[in-house]
Amino acid sequence: MDDAMADQDPPSSGGDLKDDTLGPNGLVKTSEFIRLIIDALTSPGFNAIATELEKKSRIPLHSPAAKQFLELVKNQEWYKSIDAMKQLQLSDENSVILLLLEQKYLEFLKNEQVPEALNTVREEITPLGLDPRLLHKLASKILKPDPVGEEEDTEVVKKKLQELLPLGVIVPERRLEYLLDDDLDTQRGQCDFHNVQDSDLSLFSYHYCDKRKIPSETLQVLSEHTDEVWFLTFSHDGKCLASSSKDKTAILWEMDAEGKFTQKHKLVGHEKPVVAVLWSHDDQQVITCGENEVIKRWDVGSGQCVQTYGRVDVGSVSCGWLHDGAGVIGAMSDRRIHLWSLDGTEMQHEQEQRAQTLSDVAMTSDGKWIVSVGKEQHEISLFSRETRAERVIQLEEKEMITSFSLSRDNKYLLIDLVTQEIQLWVIGGDEPFYLSEYDGHKRTRFIIRSCFGGYDEDFIASGSEDSQVYIWHVAKGLRPCRVLRGHSGAVNCVSWNPTDIHMLASGSDDRTIRIWGLAKK
C-alpha cells in the first residue's frame, strides 16, 4: 500500500462505523472500541496519534459539549461547568448540579471564605430540595473541613460524574488498561496450577499453567551429610540453602550462576543432632538448635560460631530469630520460651511455663505474636507480645501436633498432625479459624515438616515417610497435585525457594538433599 492510499480516510462513514461491531460474537461496539483506544493513547502521552485517530475514524473521544464540560470541571470553573452541563441534555440534572455546587462550597472552605460557602448552601444548594441530613453534613464541614487538595477534589468529582452521567457520555480514564488488567487477573485466578511470575503473563495468548509448572524433576543431589537430614531452609534471597542433620552438623550451601549448589561451610560444634537451622533477615548469619542442647549463632561469611545461647541444665528444643533480627527465641526443655539479645543477654518474657515440654516455636515477622506448640499436645498457642493475651487453636484430642509453619504475611498457619493430615488455619483476623486440610502423605513415627511456596505461596509441600514429596494447591485442596519420587528414605523436611518459585529442596533419612525443578520438555 502506498503512502497516498494510507493517508486516505476510511471508506465507511462515521455513522457506519458507529453502528459496527467487532469480535467473534459481535459484542464489541466499534465506536466504543475506538474511543477506548483513543483514551489509551492519551494516557501514555501519544496525544497526536490519538487526535489523528479521532480524525480518521470520525469518532471523537467525547462530544464537543462533553469535552467543554470536562475541561471546565478540570479547571474548577463550577458556574460555567453547570451552564455547559445543560448542553448534555441530561434527564437528571439536579444530581450533577449538586455535585458541582458541593465542590464549589468545599473550595470556598479551603480558601477560608466561610460567608461565601454559607451563601452557596443557602442560595444555591438548599433550593434543590435535598435531604436535610445532607445539608447538615455540608454545614458541619465548616467546623471540620476535609484535608484534601485541589487535585484530589478534581479526581473525586470526575469519578462521581461517571456514576451520575449516562453511559458513554464520559469515557472512564484508562478504561482499556483496566479491562485488560482485569482479564489477565481473571485468567490467573482460573489457572489450575498457576506458578509463574506476573511478568510472564501476556496479552498475546490465553494464560494457563499445567502441572509442568510445578517442581517435579531432580536437578541435583547433595550428599555431604553423613546421617539423616532433619531440617533445611533457603535463604531469603534464594541464593543459599542451609541444612541440619542427625550427624551433629549444619551445612551452608551456595548456588552458582548455573543454579548448582556447592558446600560453602560445614558448621561443626554441636554435641548432639542439629534439629533446626534458620537464616537471619539479612542472610549474613544463621542460628542452629542442638537437640536438647544449646542454640548457636554463626557468621555465614566465615562459618565461625559467634555466640551460644542457653541455660545451665536446660536444653533447646526449637529456635528462631526475633522479628527485627536483634535477638534469638528458643523453646527450652524447662517448658519455657526464652528470648536473648544477640550478645547473649536474656530478655524478659512474660509467657507462663507450659504444662508440657515444648516442641516448636516461632515469632511472626511483624514481631506481634509468638507461636508455640507442646510435645504431644493438640493445641497451638498464639501469644501477643503487645497485650500479653493468649489465643489458643484447639484441635481434637486425637490430633496431636508435630510442627507448624507460618506464611510470609503471617495470615496463615500450617499445622502438621500425627493423623497424617496438614491443616490450614487463618490467624490474621480477630480469632483463628480452620480453613482446609490436606492429606495423602504418610506419617506414623517421625516429625515431618511442611511449608508454603510457589507463586504467592499458593502451594503446600510436605515430606513423607514413604520417601516421597507431596505438593498440594492451597485452594484446590485435599488431594495432592504432585508426588515427587527419588529419595530412598523418609523425607523429613522441605523448603520452597522464596525467589525462584520453580525450585524446591527436600531432606531425607537417606542422608541426601534433593533440589527439584521443572521437568524438561
Q: State the pLDDT confidence band at 16, using cuts at 50, 70 and 90.
A: low
Q: What is the model's pLDDT at position 12?
A: 40
| Per-residue model confidence as pLDDT tens digits over 56-110 | 999 999 999 999 999 998 888 888 998 999 888 888 888 888 888 888 888 888 8
User: For residue 12, how far is the Cα from the chain centroid?
Assistant: 49
Cell of 285: 548469619
Report for 12-16, 195-199, 455-459: range of highest mean pLDDT: 455-459
Residue 131 clears pLDDT 80, i.e. is over it: no
Q: In terms of pTM, does the model score above 0.85? A: no
Report for 118-122, 233-237, 364-368: range of highest mean pLDDT: 233-237
Cell of 340: 536473648
Q: What is the model's pLDDT at position 76?
A: 85
Q: Are 442 and 464 in contact (CB under 8 A)?
A: yes
Residue 155 has a CB neighbour count (10 Å cut-off) of 13
For residue 410, what are the β-bridge partners?
Answer: none
Residue 11 clears pLDDT 50, i.e. is over it: no
Give the percent of the chain with pLDDT over 90: 58
| Per-residue model confidence as pLDDT tens digits over 23-59 | 899 999 999 999 999 999 987 889 999 999 999 999 9
| Per-residue model confidence as pLDDT tens digits over 362-412 | 999 999 999 999 877 788 999 999 999 999 998 886 778 889 999 999 999
Mean pLDDT of 216-236: 97
Q: State the pLDDT confidence band at 163, using cuts at 50, 70 and 90.
A: confident
Task: Please give the Cα distance from 160 to 155 (Å, whole number).
Answer: 9
Strand ranges, E, within 410-496? 412-417, 421-426, 433-439, 450-453, 459-462, 468-473, 482-485, 491-496
Answer yes or no: CATH 2.120.10.30 is held by domain 213-517: no
Q: What is the model's pLDDT at position 353?
A: 84
Cell of 39: 483514551
Q: State the pLDDT confidence band at 211, using cuts at 50, 70 and 90.
A: confident
H-run or E-run covering 398:
none
Q: What is the model's pLDDT at position 1?
A: 42
- For 218-241, letters b (16+ CB in 10 Å) and e give bbbebebbeebbbbbbbbeebbbb
Q: What is the model's pLDDT at position 17?
A: 64
Q: What is the model's pLDDT at position 159?
A: 83
Q: State the pLDDT confidence band at 147, using cuts at 50, 70 and 90.
A: low
Which residue, 237, 343, 345, is CA-closest to 281? 237
Which residue, 374, 438, 445, is CA-closest to 412? 438
Which of the pair, 17 or 452, is modelled with greater confidence? Answer: 452
Torsion over CA: 24, 30, 35, 41 (sign): positive
| Mean of the per-residue pLDDT values of the chain | 88
Q: What is the model's pLDDT at position 5?
A: 41
User: Residue ranges of the domains in the chain?
Assistant: 14-175, 213-517
Q: What is the model's pLDDT at position 167?
A: 86
Q: What is the model's pLDDT at position 491?
A: 97
Report for 7-21, 37-51, 232-246: range of highest mean pLDDT: 232-246
| Per-residue model confidence as pLDDT tens digits over 400-459 | 888 999 999 999 999 998 888 899 999 988 889 999 999 989 887 778 999 999 999 999
| Per-residue model confidence as pLDDT tens digits over 310-344 | 988 889 999 999 999 999 999 999 999 999 999 99
Q: What is the model's pLDDT at position 110?
A: 82
Q: What is the model's pLDDT at position 2?
A: 46
Mean pLDDT of 196-204: 90
Residue 6 has a CB neighbour count (10 Å cut-off) of 7
Q: What is the model's pLDDT at position 4?
A: 45
